[in-house]
Amino acid sequence: MKIVAITSSPKGKNSTTLRLVNAALEGAREAGAETEIINIAKMKINYCKGCVSCYAKGKCVQKDEYNKIAEKFFSADGVILSSPNYIDNVSAQLKTFLDRSANSIHEQLLDGKYGLTLTTSGGSEYEGVLKVMSSFINRSGGLVVGSVGFSNAQGPQGAEEAIRKAREVGKELVAAIKEKRSYPEQEAPIKEWRRRFEQTLTFNKERWAHNYQHWVEKGWIKA
C-alpha cells in the first residue's frame, strides 16, 4: 500500500507544515504503508493555461514536471495534501497543482481512494485552508479520513497536540484503505455530482473524448 504526500511550502526542511506531514507518514508507516513525499515547491509546474486539452486527451499537454507528479499522486492508494495558510488559502504552489489537476474532477481520479489534509497558520483560522484541500479530494471522488491543522499562536503545546493527531490520522488513513471504509456524508454529494455531470459529459462527448471514454470504461455512463 502506497501513501503519497504533497508538500507545498517554499521553506523546504524548515517548513512547519512538514512536521505534520512527517508525523502522518510516520503513523502510516507504523500501520504498514510505504510512503513518499513530493515537495512541489521545488519542482517546475507552470500555471494552468485553461486549454482543457486534458479533458480530451486525459493528460496535460504542457511540458514540465506536472505529469510526472500527477502519475505518482493519482496512482497512490492514499494521498495527503498539505499547505501553509497563505492569506487564508493554500500556497500558490499547491493552488497551481490543483488547477493543473482539473481533469481529476472530470475523471474522478481519486475514486475508491482515501486522503488526509494538513495545514499550519501563523495566527488566524486555518479551517478554510483545510476545506480547499478536502474539497479537492471529495470533488475528485476521494474520501477524507481526517484533517489536522494548528496555529503557531497556539505555542509548542498546540504544535505537539497537532503532531500527535497527525500521527493518529496517518494510522487511520491506512485502516480506512484496508477496510474500504464508508463515509456516507461525503459519498452522497459525490454521487449527486456524478448524476448531474453525466448530462454535461454526454453533451460534450466529442470535445471531451477522453473523459467520456473513461466514464464508459468505469461503467458510470452507457455508451
Ligand X SMILES: Cc1cc2nc3c(=O)[nH]c(=O)nc-3n(C[C@H](O)[C@H](O)[C@H](O)COP(=O)(O)O)c2cc1C
Footprint of ligand X (CB under 6 A): 9, 11, 15-17, 84-88, 120-124, 152
What is the rounded CA–CA span in Å between residue 95 and residue 212?
Answer: 26
Closest CB to ligand X among residues 8, 211: 8
| Distance of closest approach, residue 164 Cβ to ligand X, in angstroms | 17
Amino acid of residue 13: K
Closest CB to ligand X among residues 123, 189: 123
Closest CB to ligand X among residues 85, 211: 85
Amino acid of residue 167: R
Amino acid of residue 205: K
| Distance of closest approach, residue 153 Cβ to ligand X, in angstroms | 8
What is the rounded CA–CA span in Å between residue 188 and residue 190?
Answer: 5
Amino acid of residue 111: D
164: how many CB neighbours lie within 10 A of its CB?
A: 12
Q: Residue 107 has which C-alpha cell?
A: 475523471
| Distance of closest approach, residue 95 Cβ to ligand X, in angstroms | 13
Closest CB to ligand X among residues 26, 77: 26
Closest CB to ligand X among residues 41, 56: 41
Instruction: Report the candidate in 119, 87, 135, 85 with the shortest Cα–Cα distance to residue 6.
Output: 119
| Distance of closest approach, residue 139 Cβ to ligand X, in angstroms | 23
| Distance of closest approach, residue 170 Cβ to ligand X, in angstroms | 17
Q: Residue 213 has which C-alpha cell?
A: 471514454
